[in-house]
Structure 1
């Protein structure tokens, strides 16, 4: 919903609604749907929609992508490069079944994410490497030789 304000020609932003104490229908609906649900409604539900946090650092020779994804194995990841777009994704399914004499309990879980990054033209895509250790996925995106930062030097005046 939109919150539009009518601005009179004199430029003031005074509310000219004579029913200011009574909320309009759109304000009332906005209030209902934008309100946070009590934790009792949300605490037992996992939507499976969460994106891992990412740090991207630039050095003189490369870009480094660090993604926090604890609890996975390196075989859970899929890294794709297509037309300078790096895609990082994972999909994990878990099932657990417990059978006792009087009952059977089945639990299952599913989680997935996909992050995509458009790489600059300066990345040497033939030498991209990745490793996963201690819950952190590190991706090294080396720069092309011509894009590497050269050290400062003095120029002699003749």
Structure 2
């Protein structure tokens, strides 16, 4: 024999009636609203709203930012620099319409992202350069002359 007690969702232990086969309205509504949504409603939800992956590499002379953003055009990007904050964003709206004699089908698409990076003071803001090729956005952030690493130097002993 089990010592476990079946506790209703409202936490009440006073109802010990054996009417467990007939749920009350409160339990019935709880079951409806706590149930997971069917797959049909969630299958395409939030599709394509991920942030693109970024690689950042530092060399002696510059920082290189590479962002994977395939399927876009150069004109889809907005790159801004404000108070040493680099912002990279894109917004693409797509609308397709297909008409036949019996029906019209319209499809709308929208995707966007925005990535921001705090730049170090060593970046020369006047020489920043960006290129987009084969789905990769590349941004060169050159360092100021005084911030560049000098090559090793041998010091002669006198």
TM score, norm. by length of structure 2: 0.74
Distance 1:83 1:102, change over 3 A: same
Cα RMSD after superposing both structures? 2.4
Aligned to 2:157: 157
Structure 1 residue 80, shift from structure 2 partner: 0.3
**Count of aligned pairs:** 128
Q: Distance in 2 between matches of 1:144 and 1:39?
A: 54
Q: Distance in 2 between matches of 1:59 and 1:37?
A: 50
Distance 1:37 1:126, change over 3 A: farther
Aligned to 1:56: 56
Task: Give the greater-gyration-radius structure (CA).
Answer: 2
Flag structure 2 segments of 5+ consecutive residues without an equivalent.
11-33
Distance 1:40 1:143, change over 3 A: same
SS of the aligned residue for 2:87 comes to strand
Aligned to 2:137: 137
Aligned to 1:121: 121
Distance 1:60 1:50, change over 3 A: same
Aligned to 1:10: none
Structure 1 residue 38, shift from structure 2 partner: 8.2
Structure 1 residue 46, shift from structure 2 partner: 3.3
SS of the aligned residue for 1:156 comes to coil
Aligned to 2:100: 100
Distance 1:48 1:149, change over 3 A: same
Flag structure 1 segments of 5+ consecutive residues without an equivalent.
1-18, 26-32
After TM superposition, the structure 1 stretch with the greater mean CA deviation from structure 2, 36-45 or 99-108, is 36-45
Q: Distance in 2 between matches of 1:126 and 1:51?
A: 27
